[in-house]
Amino acid sequence: MQVQLRIRRFNPEKDEKPWWGEYTLDNVNPNDSVLDLLHRVKWEIDGTLTLRRSCAHGVCGSDAMRINGANALACKTLVARLIKEGATQARIQVEPILGLPVVKDLVVDMEPFFEHYKSVKPYFINNSPPPENGRERLQSPEDRARYDDTTKCILCAACTTSCPSFWADGRYVGPAAIVQAHRFIFDSRDEGYAERLKVVGDTFGVWRCRTVFNCTNACPREIEVTKAIAEVKRALTTGKV
């Protein structure tokens, strides 16, 4: 099939403002991913097209983009999912994720995103000595299950950059950071919940969430992001984990 690929382009060394690049690709297989199409443009047509990618199968979090208006990983989005079955032609539009400064083409500055991430103390805090026998701390399978969903996060930023509250005010820590906080707050071995709740309970924490569910829809790991945020909100209100 044939795909008309429309890509939002911007090279700060050349362009005064962003523009749309139009590329016609023939012999596209519906099972090709959007990343495959972008690679074809970059390798065969225009080497200046710039994007991040690495694993190519949805586990590294490099290539979150706005594809036909919705955030997704380019490598996990197949053409087949964007077209009507049997279509021989399609238009696909790709833009950088919103709310973070564009560095070049589809590459955005991830630093603000990682700063929010780091602000929630995304690491295990336990100052009690580990078991004397030199072995693992124990945790029941039920306790382990409580934070299983939020351990899947690959920090792709698809959720945070689909959130209207984050677009409105970039100081909001955003869903991804809250997902990370959740992963530790609900870990029975962790002792840092008081410190973390302080951060996520702050003016730019969970209360900015308006339960729009964009984040949950955007998450390529199918994490129930909005639910995780709700659980953190509840922990704040009830003081109980």
Site residues, other proteins (CB under 8 A): 11-14, 30-31, 33, 42-44, 46-48, 50-62, 76, 78, 80, 103-104, 107, 110, 114, 118, 121-126, 130, 134-141, 143-144, 147-148, 151-152, 154-155, 184, 187, 189-190
Q: Which is nearer to ligand FES, 107 or 241 (CB)?
A: 107
> Distances from the Cα of 181 to the Cαs of 50, 136, 184, in angstroms?
32, 23, 5
**Closer to other proteins by Cβ: residue 23 or 209:** 23
Min dist. Cβ of residue 175 to other proteins (A):
17
DSSP assigned state of 33: B
Residues that bind ligand FES (CB under 6 A): 53-56, 58-63, 73, 75
Give the shortest CB-107-to-ligand SF4 separation in angstroms.
17
Sign for the CA dihedral angle at 221, 176, 216, 3 comes to: negative
- Quote the least distance from Cβ 64 to ligand FES, whole Å: 8
Q: Are 71 and 161 in contact (CB under 8 A)?
A: yes
Which residues form the interface with ligand SF4 (CB under 6 A)? 153-159, 175-176, 179, 218-219, 221, 223, 225
Distance in angstroms (rounded) separating the CA atoms of residues 104 and 50: 7
Please state the closest distance from residue 51 (CB atom) to other proteins, in A: 8
Query: Pairing relation of β-strands 102-104 and 107-108?
Result: antiparallel
Q: From other proteins, ligand SF4, ligand FES, none, which one binds at residue 219 (CB under 5 to 8 Å depending on kind)?
A: ligand SF4
Smallest gap from Cβ 97 to ligand FES, in A, equals 13
C-beta closer to other proteins: residue 37 or 209: 37
CA pair distance 40, 126, nearest whole angstrom:
48
21 vs 58 by CB, closer to ligand SF4: 58
Tell me how far apart the alpha carbons of residues 60 and 57 are, in angstroms, rounded to a whole number: 8
Shortest approach of ligand FES to residue 117 CB, angstroms?
Answer: 17
Nearer to ligand SF4, 79 or 110 (CB): 110
CA angle 118, 122, 126 (to 5 degrees): 135
Burial of 85 from C-beta contacts in 10 A (0-12 / 13-18 / 19+): exposed
Question: How far apart are the C-alpha atoms of 14 and 86, rounded to whole Å?
Answer: 40
- Amino acid identity for residue 194 in this structure: A
